[in-house]
Amino acid sequence: MKSLSLTALLMGLCCLLSSHSYAAETVKTMAEPTKQATKSMEKKSTAMQKVNINKASAEELQALKGIGQAKAKAIVDYRTKNGKFTDLKQLTMVTGIGEKLVSQNSENMSF
């Protein structure tokens, strides 16, 4: 009877250890697609499509860092009144747009 109890105990322990190992492997396997999706989203956010400041709507201009509704409208209004922008420095002539804001977005803007 003692050997039967000991055998049952050992078998139970083996099952417990193997299921723990299986569960750990399952969690690792399930986490991998999440990591891949996160990396993919990070790449997309850093590789933002350039915003053409001469053609973009106020809504599209808001995709730029630090450009909210008021600044986007000011850019569109300036563009309507004065014509197309020819260089980034010209953007600083728009009320509320400074050199720092232009430099933060320079890689994400086109003409």
DSSP designation for 98: -
Q: Flag whether pLDDT at 104 surpasses 70.
A: yes
Distances in whole angstroms, Cα of residue 80 to Cα of each of 5, 8, 72, 101, 104? 88, 84, 12, 21, 24
Instruction: Return the CATH number at 87.
Output: 1.10.150.280
Indicate the pTM of the whole model. 0.58
Q: Verify that 101 and 55 share a domain, yes or no.
A: yes
pLDDT tens digits along 63-96 = 999 999 999 999 999 999 999 999 999 999 999 9
Can you tell me the distance from the alpha carbon of 36 to that of 73, in angstroms, rounded to the nearest whole number?
38
pLDDT tens digits along 7-52 = 766 676 666 666 655 556 655 666 666 666 555 555 554 556 899 9
Write b or e for each residue in 64-81: b if 16 or more Cβ atoms lie within 10 A of its Cβ, otherwise e: beebeeebbebbbebbee
Q: Verify that 57 and 95 share a domain, yes or no.
A: yes
pLDDT tier at 5 (50, 70, 90 boundaries)?
Answer: confident
Give the domain extent around 65: 51-110
